Each structure stands twice: as structure tokens, then as C-alpha cells.
Amino acid sequence: MSDYQPKKTQLVTGRSRYVTRRIFESWPLLVWIVMLAIVIYGYKRGVEFKRMNGTVGVYQEAISAADEGRILEVLVQPGDQLKVGQVVARLDPLFIDKRIQKLERKITASRDDRIRKFRKDVVDLQNDIRELQFQKDEDETEQQMLDQVAERLGSSTASRFPEAIARQRLRLEKLNKRIPLYDDEVTFLQTQLTETRKLLKQIVDDPQLTDGADGTDLLDLEILRERKANLELKTSVSGGVYRIEKEPGEYVRAGETVVRVVAAPDVIIGFLPQEEQGRLAVGDTVWVSSTTDRHTPYATDVTSISPRISNTPDRASPLPNKMLRGREITLNLPEGLDLLPGQTVIINVDEPGSLPFIDQLMQFK
């Protein structure tokens, strides 16, 4: 036999390069695998809720009369911009003015009567005080005379005129008891005089304290003046005049609308689908942009979420034959966003231009 030994098969070196070359040669299959993974990922995530439509809140104030009457003048025109508290119309105050004048004359007459009464009381009290002082002086003079007579007569004449001496002593005792009482009576009358003068001064200085004895005249006058003030119709909101319902010269009843005002917008109302109700909460930040300028978002906060579930009719639903259910959310109107009442806006749940998926990956890292 021959001793020849054949060479062994040498193993191929660079196997990794071979596998890499084979992978690159099958790139179409890799593309399909990647696309399949993207489809599976998207299917599992479903449709992501990112935005919804909203409208600028519309509040319309119907300015009505609190009392019936004839319109004297209308001070605004449709389209005028109003401030809070601005007068928009006036009713004719002729009837109320007559009642006010009649009641004021009655109150004035009552005031004059009360002034005369208090002045008479002051004079009467002054006369009473002078009379008491005069009587006191007389009694004191008589007391001194009786003391002097009793001292001159002495005890020697007591036996000769017993009855006269007894009468003088009785009179003297009465005077001694009565004279000290004058001071208390005068003090009481002076107190009454001071209080009466004080009330008289108050009535003279303050006409509001001149009501009649029944206490209703001033109350009626105050009510009439308040009714007259209500004849000036004022707006409680700032905004624009939408419509003039009544013209000057027309008669209006209490509660009838005279002018309609659309208030300046301050809120945005959006519709949050029921299946996304956990997506937003009060205090969350959203971004609002106008439909005419989608690329300029403004950040704002969610102020309220309606507890009541609302229905969007089929004819208003973006999906045919389906009635959407959800809740109304209210947002603050962002500063710098000039919108009209009722204008449509876009509400973005996430900030436009951000990539939530990448943000989540960064947070995970």
C-alpha cells in the first residue's frame, strides 16, 4: 500500500462575513419583516387620541326691563362694543317721578309738623323749668319769713296765739319738705329738654329722619327711587350688541328683552369622547390653535369636565350611523388668541411637534 495521505479539508475562515453577505442579499425579506413588526405594533396600540374639535363659548345676555314702561331712548346700535355697567336704553320715568314728588311733599309736610311739635315741646319744657324755679324762689322766701316771725314771737307769745303759731309751724314743715323736691324736678325737665333739642337738631339736619308715624313713607320713597334707577338698562358683561329688540316709543312689560348682547369670549368648549374620558382631567394642559392658523398653538388648562354624558346626533357625527357619546370640557381662553364667539378651534392633547413615543423611551432610559 502506498503511504500517501490526502490533505484534509480546510475550514472556511471569515464565516461572519459570509453570514453578513447572505443577510444583505436577502434585504427584501428584512424589509417585509420590519414592516410586519410596525403593523403589529400599530395594531396593538390602536388609534391614538391626540386632538379634538372645540368652539369658543357663546354667552348671550338679554337685557330686559325690570319694570314696565315706555322706551324713552336706545343708546346703542348693533355692532357697538360695550363695557360692564354701560347704559344701553332708558325707560320713561314720568309716572314714577310724579309718585316720587307726591311722596316727597307728604314727607316734607310730615317733617315740618314734627319740627313744629318738637319746637313747641322745647318751649313748654323751658316754661315748666322757669315756673318751677319761680315757685322754688317763692317757697324759699316764705320759708325765710316764717323762720324770722317764729324767732321774733318767741315762746312768750305761744300761749296767747296757739292756733296761729301751730298754722305757721305746719306751713313751715310743708315748705321744708317741698323745697328739696324742686331740684329733682328741674333736673328731670332739663334732661327732657336736652333730648328734645337733640332730636330737633337731627330732624333739621337730616331729612331722612322725617318719616311719618307709620314708618312706611321713607320705605316707599326708597322703593320708588330704586324703580326709577332700574329704568336705566345696563349690561352686566362686556361684549358687542347683537340685536335691538325694541325701538324708542314702544311699550315693554317687565322681563321683555330690549337689547341682546353677545359677551366677549372667555372659555372654549370641547367634546371629549366617552371612551377617552380618562385621557384628560381638570388642571391638565392642552394646546389650542385656530383653524385658520393651525401651526400656532397656545397652551391653556382644563377648568371643568361635565359630569353629564352628552350625545352627538347621528347627523353631526363624523361616523355614519353612529351616535357619539362623551363629556363637555371647558378650557380657559388663552391670552393672545384672538377669536370670535362660536369660532371653531383645534384642541391638541399633546403639544404639537412633540414625539410622545420617543419621550417615553427617554423616560424609560
The pLDDT value recorded for residue 356 is 54
pLDDT confidence band for 177 (50 / 70 / 90): confident
* 25 and 141 inside one domain: no
Which CATH number does the domain housing residue 359 bear? 2.40.30.170
Give the number of residues written for the chain. Answer: 365
Measured distance CA(352)–CA(361) in Å, rounded:
18
Which helix or strand (DSSP H or E) is residue 29 part of? helix 27-45
Q: What is the CATH number of the domain that holds 72?
A: 2.40.50.100
Dist. CA 215–CA 212, nearest whole Å: 5
- Residue-wise pLDDT for 302-360, tens only, equals 999 888 776 665 544 555 556 678 888 899 888 888 888 888 888 888 887 665 555 55
Domain count, the chain: 4
Q: What are phi and psi of 304, to 5 degrees?
A: -160, 155
DSSP 131-195: HHHHHHHHHHHHHHHHHHHHHHHTTTSTTTSHHHHHHHHHHHHHHHHHHHHHHHHHHHHHHHHHH
Residue 10 inside a domain? The answer is no
Range of the domain at 234: 60-92+226-262
- pLDDT confidence band for 165 (50 / 70 / 90): low
The SS3 assignment for 248 reads coil
User: Across residues 41-46, what is the average pLDDT?
Assistant: 58
Residues 220 and 242 in one domain: no
Residue with cell 447572505: 22
Does one domain contain both 355 and 292?
Answer: yes
339/351 same-domain check: yes
Q: State the pLDDT at residue 361.
A: 47
| Residue 290 contacts residue 337 (beta carbons within 8 Å) | yes
Range of weakest confidence among 41-45, 89-93, 285-289, 343-347: 41-45
In a domain, 5, yes or no: no
Q: Is the pLDDT of residue 111 over 90?
A: no
Residue 8 located in a structural domain: no
Residue 1 resides in a domain: no
pLDDT at residue 129 is higher than 60:
yes
Q: What is the pTM of this model?
A: 0.56
Residue 213 lies in a domain: yes
Same domain, 268 and 359: yes
6, part of any domain: no
